[in-house]
Structure 1
Amino acid sequence: MKLVFLGTSAAQPTERRGLSSICLERDGEILMFDAGEGSQVSFLKSGLGWNKPMKIFVTHLHGDHCLGILGLIQTMTLQHRTEKIEIFGPKGIDEFLSANIKILNFGLSFPIMVAVVDEGIVVEEKGYHVSASNALHSTPAFSFVFQEKDKPGRFFPEKALGLGIPEGELWHKLQSGESISINGKTFKPSDVLGEKRSGKKIGISGDTRPTKQLEEFFKNCDYLTFDSTFDSSLQQKANETFHSTASEAALLAKNANVKNLILTHFSARYSDETLLAEEARKIHSSVIAAKDLLEIEIK
């Protein structure tokens, strides 16, 4: 599992930074959070692949977070994609996509499913779920959390063999959490597995002011990417535009017991992110300033 940052700039691109888009790749599936204009270019450079199972989560309907979906799906059609894409976003996402697809006459090569989201669990899959919480921005907006479900513990082949369980399908069932029976005797996964491993929790803030609600929503995240548009000298501008400073992002992450904070969505006024990262590190011990095409392995 890894995070890939396709675009880390706010509102307008720079020579080094594209507009907002973050991908989480897990077990051959791609979960994309936002797609600013030109996201398909960074997607191409990332090598993530055009025909994998994919879901797109849109935090809000500002152009630097959603206009890139149009170019992305058109490029995917030209790449002969066949896998469906599921798109989740705030009220209006369905109208935005249906109108533009009709007007631009894409002739898509794959199906698209669009769903309007509200607070709570948005997607429930076998190995994870994605939930949404209201963010505080100048337009209706959501933040998202990816929560991986707990995984079975380490499998010990020597224990299985010692219990007389033959290698093959029965081992697979035990590793998948199923009990098995052999000659009337039942074996539980705990007989051959170690302690369960906690699933990872990853937060995506989108554009927002810090709030107590989000602090609770992101509680105990292993990784949190948070709006860090400005440094603290521009606090008033952050308030006026409903964005956050790097120090505010760090304080929220500290209060929420976040293990690793990743700053993103930087104003174009910053030629590099050093100032913002240094500001945040005065408050939180583990801070990364994202760059376009940065990959972070989730271990």
Structure 2
Amino acid sequence: MFDCGEGTQIQLMRSQLKAARITKIFITHLHGDHLFGLPGLMCTISQGFSEPSKETVMMLYGPVGLRKYVRVNLHLSRSELSYSYVVHELVSPDEELPHDWETWHPDHDAQCDPHHPNEMHDGTNIRTDEQGRWKVTEDDNFVVWAAPLQHRIPCFGYVIHQKPVPGKLDVALLQSKGIPPGPIYGQLKSGKTVTCNGITIKPEEVVGPPRPGKKIVILGDTMDSSKMAAIATDADIMIHEATLEDEMTEVCVSRGHSTPSMAGEFARSLNIKQLVLTHFSQRYKTLSQECEEGEVSVSKLVEQAKTAFQSDNVIAAQDFLIVKVT
């Protein structure tokens, strides 16, 4: 899950998603509309366990301050969880911090705060590499990177990059050899040599070359996404905010946000395949609402982004939208 604003629990209950299956939550920045639902969601997930689980660990990733935020909320509400959690913080270089950072965070070393009973340990303080990016987490299938966005407080964009996937299995060839569908197919795709009906088959004989994995870019609030370029190029999908229409560019940027054309031009510069707009001002009616005289629909933002993107592959995010990554 990426960000967790108020109302997240309600929407999860209305969806087909199971909250208990969420084991990683990534926070782009610490503004309330991206964060205030997190403690409640963590407690709701806890209630789904019939008894405490020692195996389940929730991993949280986000800016410095996230660890303290979770600790304080859970402590003050005396909320005990049925699982453990760990908070990993992305440490911003000093030049990325706002000028009043020390005023708002006089003691931003969250290590000094007492642990919550369900917190396993302090987690990792993730720092940038020589390219100025954060390697957030990695497993056998995916690696997640982050880079800074320009907003009013430290903010991040995340890139989920799937590792190369096995090539396609030549089912026709296998069947011609008398190998019926079954577990053997899976073994071959995983790189194992198998013997069936006296025939030994090597993976390279029936499995095509590895295919590039998918790449998804999810950005937080931003008035300048340019530092994402090194990790976001050629992505299959980019989710980019478009808070106000192009005619309100000056106001939009002054508040740390982007217009549709800003999103579209950036996506085009990185050769993005599909652009998904989000984070719309409440002044715009959703696509399912009828506009009365003087009202403006989100469709206007989509059209402006299409013009800048020079492609029709632009859609507006809405509740319960499912986008298939092809």
TM class by smaller structure: 0.7 to 0.9
- Does residue 280 in structure 1 map to residue 302 in structure 2? no
Q: CA RMSD in A?
A: 2.4
Task: Name 2:74's counterpart in structure 1.
Answer: 101
User: Where in structure 1 are there 5+ consecutive unaligned residues?
Assistant: 1-31
Please point out which of 89, 104, 108 is paired with 2:62.
Answer: 89
Please point out which of 31, 41, 44 is paired with 1:62.
Answer: 31
Task: Name 2:41's counterpart in structure 1.
Answer: 72
Distance 2:258 2:243 in 1: 6
User: Where in structure 2 are there 5+ consecutive unaligned residues?
Assistant: 91-126, 128-132, 286-296
**C-alpha contact (below 8 Å) 2:137/2:144 kept by paired residues:** yes
| Alignment deviations for residues 55-100 of structure 1 (CA, whole Å, 9 cap, x no partner) | 1000011111111101111222233375432110011111110111
Q: Counterpart of 1:257 in 2: which secondary structure?
A: coil
Q: CA offset at residue 190 of structure 1? A: 2.0
Quick check: 188-197 or 225-234, which moved more?
188-197
Alignment of 1:23-38 (within 5 A): 32-38=1-7
**Partner amino acid, structure 2, of 1:156:** D
Q: CA offset at residue 163 of structure 1? A: 6.4
**Partner amino acid, structure 2, of 1:190:** E
TM norm structure 1: 0.82
| Alignment deviations for residues 187-213 of structure 1 (CA, whole Å, 9 cap, x no partner) | 542211123222110000111123432
**Partner amino acid, structure 2, of 1:280:** A
**C-alpha contact (below 8 Å) 2:236/2:274 kept by paired residues:** yes
**C-alpha contact (below 8 Å) 2:214/2:235 kept by paired residues:** yes
**C-alpha contact (below 8 Å) 1:216/1:256 kept by paired residues:** no
Q: CA offset at residue 125 of structure 1? A: 1.0
- In 2 relative to 1, CA 158–289 (structure 1 residues): closer, same or farther, beyond 3 Å? closer
**Partner amino acid, structure 2, of 1:55:** K
- In 2 relative to 1, CA 168–297 (structure 1 residues): closer, same or farther, beyond 3 Å? closer
Q: CA offset at residue 223 of structure 1? A: 0.5
Alignment of 1:209-288 (within 5 A): 209-271=223-285, 272-284=297-309, 285=311, 286-288=313-315
**Partner amino acid, structure 2, of 1:110:** Y
Distance 2:319 2:233 in 1: 26
- Does residue 289 in structure 1 map to residue 316 in structure 2? yes
TM norm structure 2: 0.75
Q: CA offset at residue 173 of structure 1? A: 2.9
Quick check: 166-175 or 49-58, which moved more?
166-175
Q: CA offset at residue 110 of structure 1? A: 1.6
- In 2 relative to 1, CA 291–165 (structure 1 residues): closer, same or farther, beyond 3 Å? closer
Distance 1:188 1:122 in 2: 36
Larger Rg: 2
Task: Name 1:39's counterpart in structure 2.
Answer: 8
Q: Counterpart of 1:133 in 2: which secondary structure?
A: strand
Q: Counterpart of 1:297 in 2: which secondary structure?
A: coil
Q: Counterpart of 2:21 in 1: which secondary structure?
A: coil
Distance 1:203 1:230 in 2: 21
Q: Structure 1 or 2: larger strand share?
A: 1
Please point out which of 102, 105, 121 is paired with 2:135.
Answer: 121
Alignment of 1:53-202 (within 5 A): 53-80=22-49, 82=53, 83-117=56-90, 118=127, 119-160=133-174, 171-179=185-193, 188-202=202-216
Task: Name 1:298's counterpart in structure 2.
Answer: 325
Q: CA offset at residue 50 of structure 1? A: 2.6
Q: CA offset at residue 218 of structure 1? A: 1.6
Q: Counterpart of 2:308 in 1: which secondary structure?
A: coil
- In 2 relative to 1, CA 280–158 (structure 1 residues): closer, same or farther, beyond 3 Å? closer
Q: CA offset at residue 164 of structure 1? A: 8.2
Give the number of the structure with larger relative contact order, counting CA–CA contacts within 8 Å between residues 6 or more apart.
1
**C-alpha contact (below 8 Å) 1:74/1:106 kept by paired residues:** yes
Q: CA offset at residue 249 of structure 1? A: 0.1
